[in-house]
Structure 1
Amino acid sequence: MPTILKQEHTEMQFAINYVNEVFELVQKRNPYESEFHQAVKEVFDSLIPVLARNPIYIEQNILERMVEPERVISFKVPWVDDHGAVKVNRGFRVQFNSAIGPYKGGIRFHPSVNASIVKFLGFEQIFKNSLTGQPIGGGKGGSDFDPKGKSDGEIMRFTQSFMSELSKYIGPDVDVPAGDIGVGAREIGFMFGQYKKIRGGYVAGVLTGKGLQYGGSLGRTEATGYGTVYFVEEMLKDKGLSFKGRTVVVSGSGNVSIYAIEKAQQLGAKVVACSDSSGYIYDKQGINLETVKHLKEVEKKRIRDYVNKHPHAQYFEGCQGIWSIPCEIALPCATQNEIDEISANMLVSNGVVAIGEGANMPSTLDAMRVFLDRKILFGPAKAVNAGGVAVSALEMAQNSMRLSWTFEEVDAKLQEIMKNIYRNSMNAALEYEAVDNLVVGANIAGFKKVADAMIAQGVV
């Protein structure tokens, strides 16, 4: 073997050994946290060529430093329901990495929330926030509280209790939470009011996703869904394709899903299915978005009620079957690991052309391998759904300047950010000989900025 090839082989093997050692340590230190392991594994596999070519990252032990959160906060959240009964939930905030800016990431209220879920989301947020080009670090939070079926009074009392503890650890230049699953405008409003009361004054920049009346940004509601479609649009353009005339399936029917459907329809697509945690609807004539919006945003009803207003549509119990519907573009916008290997193979067999992950880590590692091996255009979550946090950062900027931009200004900035994320991810993939692999590209592009900042700041 020529000397230069032997050296490259040695460097690559050294990088592989380092990655394996750190991943084993992650599993040992964080037992039973399968979602966190999955998120780390997906990133680590992409970084081997970067580590081989840049040994300083190994010398500085960047991976081990990056997988250990700077701070993990777990706290009790007591509250009183409408019947006077005292309830207790658990709250979390993981402040993962502040190398490039204050911690930034949503708060999720859902029964599934635990340390593993919050850590996987916070770890992903490091790279997602880096990709936006905005000066924000990675964090995430939440609680196992379930807002479904709760009155406004119960939700207010819970969120006030939650914020009473969280307020000790956040601030405009320290940690700026936002919404996520189960946390919308209502919950953000209650938390903002409680923070204001505790701090004794108005502090606009402590939360994003606020109402327009008290420091929120136009375009924030639409940002994650619109951003998802803007990214996929760029991915399609590079192959001479577009949304126009395409059949699309979008999972979920929350904020991200609704606005992904809206933008896809505006670009000429026919969206035929969406879902909630109970089941999914199939409307071969095309989803009537106004009906979905009214059901979910006004009436707070289940997606099954769609067929009452559109009897030609079909409702099916259970969520998994939505991926059996033939489509050319799939936008998983519901939750983590909703597409497994079986569903991925079904989508491919039915002619899917492109996947855009609007939710956080909605495809299992096996499903991702199916898409990549079959050369399906695949946009990973940390790149595709970065629009929400990007506009959150724009909201922070407006708060700092005491300005409010128009919807058109915010939307134009969002489109430019999503185009840059796509282009930077593609260029990173090309540089490291992984052409068209946006998983590798997004991981590398997001990692290098944070890793370089960590090295510049010393061992802290």
Structure 2
Amino acid sequence: MSYVQEVLEQVKKRNPGEVEFHQAVEEVLHSLEPVIEKHPEYAKVGLIERFVEPERVVMFRVPWVDDSGKVQVNRGFRVQFNSAIGPYKGGLRFHPSVYLGIIKFLGFEQILKNSLTGLPIGGGKGGSDFDPKGKSDEEVMRFCQSFMTELYRHIGQDLDVPAGDIGVGAREIGYLFGQYKRIKNQYEAGVLTGKGLTYGGSLARKEATGFGLIYFVREMLAAHGMDFKDKTVVISGAGNVAIYACQKVQEYGAKVIAMCDSSGYIVDEEGIKLDTIKQIKEVERKRIKEYVKYHPNAQYFEGQQGIWSLKCDIALPCATQNDINLESAKKLVETGVKAIGEGANMPCTNEAIEYFLKNNVLVAPAKAANAGGVATSALEMSQNSMRLSWTFEEVNQKLDEIMVNIFKSSQAAAKEYGMEGNYVAGANIAGFLKVADAMMAHGIV
């Protein structure tokens, strides 16, 4: 059994039932095999064993009172995975599916994603099984205040900097920051990112993950003699990432024909009207099926998987993990898809990615392609530290440069290790090497 396989078996044995974490580790470790062959010293100091083990896991009770006066109890998490190159950095996810395995997979991915940005940030992630959907503002506030009353002791601008993720937007970040400030009795702006513009937030942060995804895919297409102009695009999701990825591809001349949320998907062959999606999702907080009321020529279908049966040139999974399985991958290849841009975290199963690569479909992997959000969060931290604000154009330009650099480093690493054009392996290797060098320098800690 190879060294990598031994570590993988150990991970599965020590973390039973955490299937998403197993999947994330397996995908990364297999692509690192040629690196470990070239650097046997990593095995001698147990570097890979340390790399897959979080430095710290915090799990806590979150009691809160709903509008009817009933006490509810949720579970909170913060996984501080790796601080070799900087303070822990990663979002908070509020969703009923959240459990330790999901947070560990996200934290593990975050190490490599943050490393790829070139900025000094380590990897972490957190969240709760609380569902903000259907809750009043007052209930969300009470939950966030209770959550932060425990979390505050584990975070800080030089220690661990959370941000938003699924279920955690501007409203939730505001309540979390207010409670942190109240407890600490100091204005520590850099402790959270994704803040409102009036209290230390950054312009372009909301757009950053979606825009960054498209900047990366643009570079990948260009490297293979293609671009977005007149291409047909399908996007899963209807949150921040999906909305702003849609906006940017439309600016580049592509036609987006479908989007979805957790209940179903819409198809508009004339092209998705983004203003309507923004109204439904960002203002009214309703389901995507409302779209057909505004545009009767569009169609709505229950369920999500059918979206990947649609004929398209480029597929952008921007919803959640394991959105595209092997069956969906086969359908996409059959209909002639040319490129996949992973906007969500691990939205394709390992089998799906393998199938795409075997069939010469370009894959922009999540840990590289959706790093724009955390990159702009780090830019927000910089602005907070310097007590200044950059313009939208300044932030967007820096974001574009960061995504171009991420693509170049993924491309170069893939080429160096004999896997030219495989940006999945390239991103894993490029992200890992920086963290590995820092871990070697720090000794066995």
- Range class of TM-score, shorter chain: over 0.9
1:261 Cα deviation from its structure 2 partner: 0.2
Distance between the aligned counterparts of 1:349 and 1:148, measured in 2? 36
Letter in 2 for 1:294: Q
Equivalent residue for 1:365? 350
Equivalent residue for 1:175? 160
Letter in 2 for 1:272: I
Distance between the aligned counterparts of 1:256 and 1:160, measured in 2? 26
Letter in 2 for 1:309: Y
Question: Matched residue of 1:176: which SS?
Answer: strand
Distance between the aligned counterparts of 1:274 and 1:172, measured in 2? 36
The 5 Å alignment of 1:50-449 reads 50-449=35-434
Which digits, 9 at most, give the CA deviation of each residue in 1:402-432, with x for residues without a partner? 0100000000000000000000000000000
Distance between the aligned counterparts of 2:368 and 2:420, measured in 1? 16
Distance between the aligned counterparts of 2:252 and 2:151, measured in 1? 41
Which digits, 9 at most, give the CA deviation of each residue in 1:208-232, with x for residues without a partner? 0000000000010000000000000
Which digits, 9 at most, give the CA deviation of each residue in 1:287-336, with x for residues without a partner? 00000000001111100000000000000000111101110000000000
Letter in 2 for 1:39: A
Distance between the aligned counterparts of 1:106 and 1:248, measured in 2? 27
Distance between the aligned counterparts of 2:428 and 2:191, measured in 1? 28
Which digits, 9 at most, give the CA deviation of each residue in 1:380-402, with x for residues without a partner? 10000000000000000000000
1:60 Cα deviation from its structure 2 partner: 1.5
Distance between the aligned counterparts of 1:92 and 1:226, measured in 2? 29
Distance between the aligned counterparts of 2:329 and 2:178, measured in 1? 44
Equivalent residue for 2:441? 456
Which digits, 9 at most, give the CA deviation of each residue in 1:111-158, with x for residues without a partner? 000000000000000000000000000000000000000000000000
Question: Matched residue of 1:31: which SS?
Answer: coil
Letter in 2 for 1:430: K
1:272 Cα deviation from its structure 2 partner: 0.4
1:190 Cα deviation from its structure 2 partner: 0.2
Question: Matched residue of 1:168: which SS?
Answer: helix
Letter in 2 for 1:42: E
1:90 Cα deviation from its structure 2 partner: 0.2
Distance between the aligned counterparts of 1:310 and 1:452, measured in 2? 54
Equivalent residue for 1:6? none
Residue identity over aligned pairs, in percent, reads 69
Distance between the aligned counterparts of 2:436 and 2:64, measured in 1? 41
1:240 Cα deviation from its structure 2 partner: 1.2
Question: Matched residue of 2:81: which SS?
Answer: strand
1:57 Cα deviation from its structure 2 partner: 1.0
Scaled by the length of structure 2, the TM-score of the pair is: 1.00
Distance between the aligned counterparts of 1:450 and 1:364, measured in 2? 25
Distance between the aligned counterparts of 2:68 and 2:173, measured in 1? 24
Distance between the aligned counterparts of 2:279 and 2:437, measured in 1? 47
Distance between the aligned counterparts of 1:45 and 1:149, measured in 2? 41
1:202 Cα deviation from its structure 2 partner: 1.0
Which digits, 9 at most, give the CA deviation of each residue in 1:154-194, with x for residues without a partner? 00000000000000100000000000000000000000000
Distance between the aligned counterparts of 1:349 and 1:60, measured in 2? 46
Distance between the aligned counterparts of 1:187 and 1:152, measured in 2? 9
- Runs (4+) of structure 1 exceeding 3 A deviation are none
Letter in 2 for 1:104: K
Equivalent residue for 1:9? none
Question: Matched residue of 2:434: which SS?
Answer: helix
**Any unmatched runs of 5+ in structure 1?**
1-15
1:69 Cα deviation from its structure 2 partner: 0.3
Distance between the aligned counterparts of 1:346 and 1:127, measured in 2? 30
Distance between the aligned counterparts of 1:338 and 1:311, measured in 2? 27
**Any unmatched runs of 5+ in structure 2?**
none
Task: Say what the alpha-carbon RMSD is for the aligned residues.
Answer: 0.5
Question: Matched residue of 1:79: which SS?
Answer: strand
